[in-house]
Chain A
Amino acid sequence: KQEVTQIPAALSVPEGENLVLNCSFTDSAIYNLQWFRQDPGKGLTSLLLIQSSQREQTSGRLNASLDKSSGRSTLYIAASQPGDSATYLCAAPPGGYNKLIFGAGTRLAVHP
């Protein structure tokens, strides 16, 4: 059974810091892993998707890595801005299935 854990649960940082959000999963036979952003009361915005054959993906100031053997993924946010304040979710489908299993999220606050 796939379980996804995210650390830390909450993070408050000053603007400009580089951040690392962690995600771990128990079933390493994943097809892919997705990182999402959720603003309060809003839907989910897909940030990055990493295929199981890939080790990392980059989009602007975001970089996500994947280590299937250790069951870990990391989301790196460079030069954080107040607009980055949101909850960040990682999700991994258990082996052979598409349904996403979500972590509880990391609530990020970037203050000016």
Chain B
Amino acid sequence: NAGVMQNPRHLVRRRGQEARLRCSPMKGHSHVYWYRQLPEEGLKFMVYLQKENIIDESGMPKERFSAEFPKEGPSILRIQQVVRGDSAAYFCASLTVSSYNEQFFGPGTRLTVL
């Protein structure tokens, strides 16, 4: 059973471009979380999705950021018109609802905005 997969692992964008980050949850997991780790800071929750639904986006910046988890395919975190302050590591985690609710993390995508 493959773990949580994220791609690309590293992404370089110039200011004003769009960044698309992909997350494939573990097989059988239908819940996806996105977290952001800014340089020298802790991980912060961004958004929680289930298939075709955004459950909690309270941690997502109001502008330029969006997320989806379609019925088929990976979850996508999209950042429009990137700025230098978006440079960070973006992690996704998945879980399947059980008595444990343990979250399993992907390796992350490191976004650098030039």
Residues of A within 8 A of B (CB): 31-32, 34, 36, 41-46, 49, 51, 89, 91, 93, 97-105
Contact = CB atoms under 8 A, between A and B. Distances in A.
B105 to A, nearest CB: 4
Interface size class of B (residues with CB under 8 A): 20 to 34
Given A43-B108, A89-B43, A105-B42, A99 B33 contact: yes
B56 A44 contact: no
Identify whether the interface residues of B are mostly helix, strand, loop, or mixed.
Answer: strand
Contacts, number: 58
Given A98-B95, A100-B45, A102-B42, A43 B107 contact: yes
Contacts of A45: 105
A36 to B, nearest CB: 8
Interface in B49-87: 56, 59
A98 B48 contact: yes
Contacts of B43: 44, 89, 91, 100, 102
